[in-house]
Every structure is written in C-alpha cells, then in structure tokens.
Structure 1
C-alpha cells in the first residue's frame, strides 16, 4: 500500500504563510465584479492571476505570492523572462529549491512553482493555468 501524496497546498492561508518570505509588493487593479482573475502590476509588467484570497480583492498596493504548477520544464537558454501563452505563463530564471518539489523561480516576477521532477538550476517552465495569487 502506498502512502497518500501530500497536497500541494493545505489552504490558501497556510500556503501564503509557508512561503510568505517570497511575497512581493504589487499593485492590484480593481477586480471586475464576480471575476476570479485579478490584474496585477508588477514593476512595469501586468500579470493576470487567479485570486486565492478572500473576496473582495483590495485595490492598490498589497503583498502577494504568485504560485504555479509546472507542466513542462527545460534548461533556460536565454535571459530571465515572464510571458503569457494563452491562459498559461511561460517563465525562466534561476530555480532555487525550497523543498518537497517547490522552487522559487527567480524570473522578472518571482513565482513559487511546484514540479514533479527536479528543475535545472537555470530553468524555463510552462505552467498549467491558472497562475495563482495568494495574499494576506
């Protein structure tokens, strides 16, 4: 009998607390009524993410944590980047192991990712949609 796998997250609050040191200050635009997606200004880049916090999302400056699940990975062959591919994001940068399959991917926007297989030290990943946003 195999032991059950540990869930990627226990709850949005516990996940944020676990990885809060990797949260960053961003600007949240007002949330469209009833939409689970939020527009996030990170430096000079707008990112769309699935809001995992309690509604309604605040507008303005807030500390958030981005999280994604790796769909495909390969060694990074260019400068760090973050770009959208349809509903998914592709990003690349230094992959810093955090334990239990989690990595901090130090792309232009840092993202905590979970990968089934070990990531190379410099990785390019395609995430399963959606990119998720956790906040206090």
Structure 2
C-alpha cells in the first residue's frame, strides 16, 4: 500500500503519486470509493492513450452510481492496472495500493502546486 502522505489529490478525488519528475501513478481516493460503494466495473484507457490534464480517462461503476475519472496531468498512459478488469473490488479494498488505475508519462514536469497534500485533502473532504 502506498503511504497516503506521499500522494497529492484533486478536488474531484483523484490522487497522484510522483514516481519521478515526469511519471505518475493515478488512482481515486478512499473518500471517493466510500461514496461510490461496492465497485462492480472499471473501464480503463488503452495503453499509449494521449491525455490532456482534466481529460476523462476512466469510468468506475458501482452498485450506486457511475463516475468518470479525470487525468490530473497531461501525458501518455504507460501502464494500466488490468487486474481491475477482473477484480474491480480491489478499488474498494485498497484504493491507495492494488486499486491504482494507471501510470502516466507526463509530457512536462509534473506541477503539484494546484493539488492538495494528504492533510489538506482530509480537511477538504471533512467539509463535504
């Protein structure tokens, strides 16, 4: 499991983990997973898909609703968590671990200044 303190969050509840200056792992937060309930289907992008920041790149379906997931960075999808296709419940079980969605090779250095650290994100969701 990834240490939540190493992650940065969007207001839409995506998280990124900086692997290096231009390579990130992306997932959705424990708060988002809790709001969705039991996840039954995950649709991920194709490898090598080109994304702009804020592009919709994945869909997560639960017994309660369907949510679109947005890219926090511009870049190319370099890896997908294909295990989620057969085991979408991994998102419920470990949203910061085995439930990650994709890895993206950013086309520019990743700027986290517009994102929240774990502490700020926890404060943000406590007000929702």
TM surpasses 0.5: no
Higher relative contact order (CA 8 A, sep 6+): 2
Greater Rg, structure 1 or structure 2?
1
TM-score normalised over the length of structure 1: 0.28
Higher helix share: 2
TM-score normalised over the length of structure 2: 0.29
